[in-house]
């Protein structure tokens, strides 16, 4: 098994707010570098490819080039959508690679046990992804938002009754459409790992729009995807509180953990 690992890193970090989330310091090294290090020294990884912002490849190389080159990482131009970045990186996967893994560049806390587990499952099944059971109650809500008013049921529920003082404009919310059963619902993580020819078939489909992860494209082919146990610490850094949580987790490993290389 020889795996090519693709890390899409072309996002704009809009929800993060201040600066590039992949460049944020996490225990002395950038978030991006920690994600790369999780795979770079594994014997079963033959290539690591990072898809950089299409309009800032040179700047990306100036910022990370030396560190990525040390790990033998190839940098390619990404796209506007995540699937475009993955497709661009797929085009440069070395011929000897038997499998392709895609890992969110913003998941720097992935550990070696999780990678071992997903790689082993993909070697047998051809398509494997990690996931965690959803424990929260799930609600489907309206697409539109509503302004709450003093006689609105939303405000009554917020304030605990209809006798409270009016709150005026500014309280917004969406109305519940239904409660979604959470039985057998999984929150999916990365890395997602696929047999190479299967992955290439998935990305050769005529329309890839709307794909939020790579497994969904394999599912469109009618091919089975195996979900194995994820890890609650394998969080994706999307907002600044996520980064703060990652820093806490970094200093609170459990006894016996096999961290990512250089963790």
Same domain, 129 and 159: no
pLDDT per position as a tens digit, 188-216 = 999 999 999 999 999 999 989 888 899 99
In the block, tokens 């990306």 appear at 60
Q: Cα separation of 186 and 201, whole Å?
A: 25
pLDDT per position as a tens digit, 36-84 = 999 999 999 999 999 999 888 999 999 998 999 999 999 999 998 999 9
Same domain, 105 and 144: no
Give percent of the chain with pLDDT exceeding 90. Answer: 73
Q: Which of 149, 180, 211 is the endpoint of a domain?
A: 180
Count: domains in the chain: 2
Same domain, 104 and 234: yes
Comparing CA positions, the residue from 104, 153, 100, 170 lying closest to residue 128 is: 100
The whole-model pTM stands at 0.85
Specify which residues 50 forms β-bridges with: 7, 75
Q: Cα separation of 82 and 133, whole Å?
A: 25
Same domain, 159 and 31: no
Contact 23, 237 (CB under 8 A): no
Helix and strand numbers (H, E) in the chain are: 8, 14
Same domain, 30 and 147: no
CATH number, residue 60: 3.90.550.10
In this predicted model, which residue has the larger pLDDT, 151 or 238?
Answer: 238
pLDDT given at position 172: 84
Same domain, 190 and 174: no
Q: How confident is the model at residue 159 (pLDDT cuts 50, 70, 90)?
A: low
Same domain, 74 and 157: no
> Per the domain annotation, does 68 fall within a domain?
yes
Mean confidence (pLDDT) of the chain = 88
pLDDT given at position 260: 47
Comparing CA positions, the residue from 169, 183, 172, 188 lying closest to residue 227 is: 188
Same domain, 51 and 149: no
Q: Cα separation of 249 and 252, whole Å?
A: 5
> Which structural domain, as residue segments, surrounds residue 170?
138-180
- Residue 96: Cβ-neighbour burial (10 angstroms; 0-12, 13-18, 19+): exposed
> Is 60 exceeded by the pLDDT of residue 150?
no
Same domain, 83 and 209: yes
Q: How confident is the model at residue 263 (pLDDT cuts 50, 70, 90)?
A: very low
Comparing CA positions, the residue from 232, 107, 133, 131 lying closest to residue 188 is: 131
> Per the domain annotation, does 260 fall within a domain?
no
> Is 50 exceeded by the pLDDT of residue 262?
no
φ, ψ dihedrals at 115, nearest 5°: -60, -45
* Crossing angle for the helix pair 57-70 and 31-40, to the nearest 10 degrees: 40
In this predicted model, which residue has the larger pLDDT, 162 or 236?
Answer: 236
Q: What are the percentages of helix, strand and coil residues in the chain, rounded to 5?
A: 30, 20, 45
pLDDT per position as a tens digit, 105-115 = 999 999 999 99
Specify which residues 6 forms β-bridges with: 49, 102
């Amino acid at each position: 098994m020889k795996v090519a690992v693709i890390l899409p890193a072309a996002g704009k970090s809009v929800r993060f707010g201040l600066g590039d989330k992949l460049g944020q310091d996490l225990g002395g090294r950038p978030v991006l570098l920690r994600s790369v290090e999780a795979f770079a020294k594994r014997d079963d990884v033959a290539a690591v490819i990072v898809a950089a912002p299409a309009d800032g490849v040179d700047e990306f190389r100036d910022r990370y080039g030396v560190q990525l080159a040390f790990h033998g990482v190839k940098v390619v131009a990404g796209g506007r959508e995540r699937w475009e970045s993955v497709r661009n990186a797929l085009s440069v996967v070395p011929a000897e690679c038997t499998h392709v893994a895609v890992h969110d560049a913003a998941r720097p806390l992935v550990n070696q046990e999780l990678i071992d587990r997903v790689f082993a499952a993909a070697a047998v099944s051809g398509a494997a992804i990690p996931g965690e059971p959803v424990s929260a109650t799930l609600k489907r809500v309206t697409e539109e938002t509503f302004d709450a008013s003093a006689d609105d049921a939303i405000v009554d529920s917020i304030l605990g009754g209809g006798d409270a003082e009016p709150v005026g404009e500014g309280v917004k919310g969406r109305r519940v459409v239904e409660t979604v059963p959470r039985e057998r619902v999984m929150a999916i993580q990365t890395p997602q790992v696929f047999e190479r020819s299967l992955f290439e078939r998935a990305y050769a489909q005529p329309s890839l729009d709307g794909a939020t992860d790579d497994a969904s494209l394999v599912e469109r082919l009618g091919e089975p995807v195996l979900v194995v146990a994820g890890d609650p610490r394998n969080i994706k850094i999307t907002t600044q509180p996520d980064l703060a949580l990652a820093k806490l987790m970094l200093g609170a490993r459990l006894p016996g953990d096999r961290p990512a290389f250089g963790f």
